Structure 1
Amino acid sequence: MNGAHWHLVVNHLPIIFPIIGVIIMITGLISKSEAVKRTAFMMFIIGALAAIAAMNTGEDAEHVVENISGITKNYIETHEESAEVFSILSYILGGISLIGLWASYKQKFFSAWITIISLIFAGVVLFYAKDTGTTGGEIRHTEIRENGNIPPSNNENKSYEDRD
């Protein structure tokens, strides 16, 4: 497996885990179950760890796709910038969730606030997750680009370094 393949294997996880975490957290709030809320915190923590894996495989993926015809440097850089913001936010959510997990186990008075804060922050993370996923998809999926499936005709024959 090459670098792009590894990136494709792990890059969906930092998006999926927070989605699952939000669903579980809402369930925990409705059922008033600390065990369910702790599970949601774990999903957010695992999502942060998955973001580390996705970021670590991104550079190798870039080296593979930069040599593919029709791939412009602009799409890769846009995705890379979006992924950096998303990963930082994922790490912060993971940190908040660690505090929430600890507060839940220790039955701290602020445990309920951490739960609400993590749920709201997870919404922010998911907003950036959507952007990162979309910009990543645009690299190879011309059909989701704003200009449809029209390939960048003036860039097809240029080398990666010379592209817009």
Structure 2
Amino acid sequence: MNEVHFHLAVTHLPIIFTIVGIIVLVTGLISKSEAVKRTAYLIFSIGALTSIAAMTSGEGSEDIVENIDGINESFIETHEEAAELFSILTYILGGLSLIGLWVSFKQITFLKTISIITLLFAFVALFFGIQTGTTGGEIRHTEIRSDPNNATLNNNYREENEND
């Protein structure tokens, strides 16, 4: 397994953990179960750790992928910038979750407030996680790019047909 393969394997985890954490936290808020909310906080914390793995494998992956024919460096840079922001947001979400765990165990009065703040922040992080995933996919998947004129495959196809 090279760095690109490892990056592709772990890069989806922060997004998945954020989605699952949101579902579990909403369930905990509806059921008013501290145990379920604590589970969500742990899920968000694990998601922050997986973000570290995705970020550290990204540089090595970039070194390999940028040498592949047809790869546009601007797509890599866009993805890298999105990933940096998303990682910071997942680290903050993990920190909020640790505070939420502490508040939950200590039964401090702003227990529900920290849950709501964490949930809202998780939605913000998820939004940027989706952006990061999309920009990463656009590096190799020309069919999902918003501008079909930047799609290497479409350009190659057009050039081939113009020569006929």
Q: TM-score, normalised by structure 1?
A: 0.91
What's the CA shift string for 1:87-119, capped at 9, x where partnerless?
001000000000000110111111111100000
Could you say which structure has the larger radius of gyration?
2
Matched residue, 2:73? 73
Q: Distance in 1 between matches of 2:119 and 2:77?
A: 30
Is 1:142 aligned to 2:150, yes or no? Answer: no
* Superposition pairs of residues 14-93 of structure 1, within 5 angstroms: 14-93=14-93
Shift of 1:64: 1.1
Q: Distance in 2 between matches of 1:147 and 1:94?
A: 35
Q: Matched residues, percent identical?
A: 64
Q: Distance in 2 between matches of 1:111 and 1:99?
A: 10
Secondary structure at the aligned position of 1:57 is classed as: helix
Shift of 1:147: 2.9
Shift of 1:150: 3.3
Q: Distance in 2 between matches of 1:99 and 1:31?
A: 21
Question: How many residues align structurally?
Answer: 154
Unaligned runs of at least 5 residues, structure 2 = 157-164
Matched residue, 2:9? 9
Please, what is the CA RMSD of the aligned residues? 1.4
What letter is aligned with 2:77?
E
Matched residue, 1:125? 125
Greater helix share, structure number: 2
Q: Distance in 2 between matches of 1:145 and 1:50?
A: 26
Runs of 4+ in 1 over 2 A off after TM superposition: 147-150
Q: Distance in 1 between matches of 2:138 and 2:92?
A: 26
Q: Distance in 2 between matches of 1:14 and 1:136?
A: 14
Unaligned runs of at least 5 residues, structure 1 = 155-164
What letter is aligned with 2:152?
P
Matched residue, 2:108? 108
